[in-house]
Homo-oligomer: A and B are copies of this chain.
Amino acid sequence: MSQQSFTIRTRPRSFEDITGRIAGIVQASNVQCGLCNVFLRHTSASLLICENADVAVRRDLERYMARTAPEDGSQYEHDAEGPDDMPSHIRSMLTGVSLSVPVGQGRLLLGTWQGIYLWEHRAASHERQIVVTVQGC
């Protein structure tokens, strides 16, 4: 079992591919078979397993979120940090901040088309903290 934290400086409203980073932590843990949990310590960004081939998929997901949780101040009571504040909490609620991925033969058992992304929902760059916990034998 092994636990590591790292921070990532995000770009505004972006998907940051952290698959390689997580895979490296799994490899260094020497866990051959078990589970890897990735946890984001924030409530206005999220973690997502997403199609990793066509970047247009991620652009469409971003547009979907902009439609379902628009930057429309008349809909929200909470706007302490601007018009992108409350939409970001809604996006984070819908997608989540904790992901568990199985580990087999010492590597993440992701599907061929699956990548792990940190999705920054805020309109500005942020420093985000991630905790990775690998459990198994």
Contact = CB atoms under 8 A, between A and B. Distances in A.
Contact of A98 (B33, B42, B54, B100): B100
A106 interface: no
A43 B110 CA distance: 10
A80 interface: yes
A96 B94 contact: no
A113 B42 contact: yes
A56 B78 contact: yes
A89 B41 contact: no
19 contacts: A1-B136, A34-B135, A39-B102, A40-B111, A41-B112, A42-B111, A43-B51, A49-B96, A49-B97, A54-B80, A56-B77, A56-B78, A57-B78, A60-B78, A61-B90, A63-B75, A63-B76, A94-B94, A98-B101
A37 interface: yes
How many chain A residues sit at the interface, stated as a range, is 35 or more
Interface of A: 1, 3, 33-35, 37, 39-44, 48-51, 54, 56-57, 59-61, 63-64, 67-69, 75-78, 80, 86, 89-90, 93-102, 104, 109-114, 129, 131, 133, 135-137
**8 closest A-B pairs by CB:** A41-B111, A56-B78, A56-B77, A43-B51, A102-B131, A102-B133, A57-B78, A60-B76
